[in-house]
A and B are shown apart, each in its own frame.
Chain A
Amino acid sequence: MTYFQNAKTVLKSLFTRPATLMYPAKPAKKTPLSRGHVTIDPAKCITCRSCQRKCPTQAIIVEVKEKTWQIDQMRCIVCACCVEVCPTKCLTMDTQYPVALTARGGVTKVTVAGPKKKEPVAVAEKPAEKKE
């Protein structure tokens, strides 16, 4: 049995820089895969509601008639299901965490472009029915 088993580590830490970061004064270390928060490009959203259906916590609400897309940051668990399922890739995952909230809320509502209007497709003319 011996004493001062931790002395080596303690001495080493005396002469090294702190292992901690001064967050948020310095930004947190993030990698390209990090999941911070969901962002939307309103111009690309077609209100297909795939994200709303896939969301495990029902944090996303899409109003098709009003053309709005809404996310509740307090409900969102940042699983990135909506980002994976989005057909137009309008949802992206930002690597930085959202700003801390000081009260209940955190609902972000944006007006989006909505579905693209269908271009009139030239209808092939039906062959005239033969008169008997």
Chain B
Amino acid sequence: MDTTKPLSMKIRKLPPCRAACPADVNVQGYIALIQQGKFKEAVELIRKSMPFPAICGRVCFSPCQDACTRKEIDQPVGVRYLKRLAADIEREQGRIKPEPIPKIHNQKVAIIGAGPAGLSAGYELAKRGYPVTIFERMPEPGGMMRYGIPDYRLQKYVVANEIAYIQDLGVEIKTRVEFGKDVTFDTLQSQGYKAIFLAIGAQLSQKLRIPGEELEGVFHAVEFLRDIALGKSFDLGEKVAVIGGGNSAVDAARTSLKLGAKEVIVLYRRSQKEMPALPYEVEAAEKEGAKFQFLVSPKQIIGESSKVKAVECLRMELGEPDASGRRRPVPIPGSEHLYEVDTVIPAIGQVAETSRLPTILVGEREWAVAADPLTTETKIPGLFSGGDVATGPASVIEAVGAGRRAAESIDRYLNGKDMREGREVEIVETTWVKDMGKITRKPERYVSSHVDIGRWEASFEEADELLARNKETAIFEARRCLGCGPCTECLGNEELCDADKAVVDETLCSGCNLCAVVCPYGAVRKNDAGVAEVDEDLCKGCGICSASCPERAIAMKKFSEAQILANVETALGR
């Protein structure tokens, strides 16, 4: 045992997928429900952790899928596809309309920014019975989910639908209220808000800081995508250069093509391997006709009568790894060359608008708010901050995780509880799979919609027919899940399983070790005293040991043999 760790450190045994999820979504649990065709129940289980099943089913970078044990055998389980399908089925069949949660607390909470972090914090606090008001600057809530991610990846009605669920719970969202102008910390406090969560995101594009950036025909990606979402039209000309290698760059490139640009070239200063953009997005952009140039960096934008004419670039080579672990690009002297273009879209990153915030909030990094990553506390008591504004541009799911942590902190703060107690947990990845060779190969059976892009080229409309609403494929796909972790307490059948566990009657056990032989998970074995012992963290409650024990020394806690027999009698009795 490692004695250096504090004793209070909780240990959680989780399957790799759930361990990888920043928002602690019970992945194995909802996959188990999909296996049984219980799509709505699966969505409800996801909603226990976060309010955006359909959104994350579309745009999440799915660390769960990357962590899946199945990848060692054939391919990982298509977790994101399954989540999306389950959420779509739920929406199509009529979204579950939750009852408003009674407000059992009277301390009001204000949240600034209705993006993924703010919304999920509001969601979590509302579930705990707090009156929550979210203030949003834009005409519609959603943040980057609405104004950052283009329509073809994430449809507006999907975002609206999931936000409506949060509103149904009783969260109030006030739009067109700008923080720093319409409301300030002082006004909020005087209005009786006892805690504030600042989640305004990173809304400014980082500048290239090269000559020519102010020319007509230079649109920065965040603003460009936001204006498109607001319905503004653009004249991009024939040729567009996008600078950057992240998701915004690819979004800008694909959007430009859909707006009618004939040629789109993405210029990235590192190689393809280092690109932060989702690989399938890059693939889709390439199929739609976008060209990618790697190891090039712009030196200046050349204009003619104040309009963009060309972009001059330098070739790069990769040097030593930098702080991010990626190899640093180094310019090759004398390698200047020109790309003639009509539009330049820089998409090299985003920063938070920190200029309007009190300087005490801003940390060493002037583009972000300094907040504790675990508790989201800032230097001002009662003021919490998380999401992109504190971390720099990240993902929806990370923002959701921050929102959840903030909600927990606000709850503790308002009740005068310790901020950290029991929150630092050690996560141990568990998997019963020891011998990969023994597992039958079952390659993925679905064709996910992002690969087959042929039919929705150059269109903003979601190609509904491409939504493989094929439940059966989904269930087959879900069955590929190995169920690595312990019982996930999905409560797929509350009445029966209720997260059942085996218990050993030590006086009956003869130590024959048969239970260890039949247990698929190694959850029960003979201990040093020579009697069987159940590891409750690994037991999934199947009951096979109980049905096999020669001394009948193992019983199930909740669904015992006697219970089964009583049911048999009832059934035969009529």
Tell me, yes or no, whether A binds B.
Answer: no
Tell me the A residues contacting B by CB distance below 8 Å. Answer: none
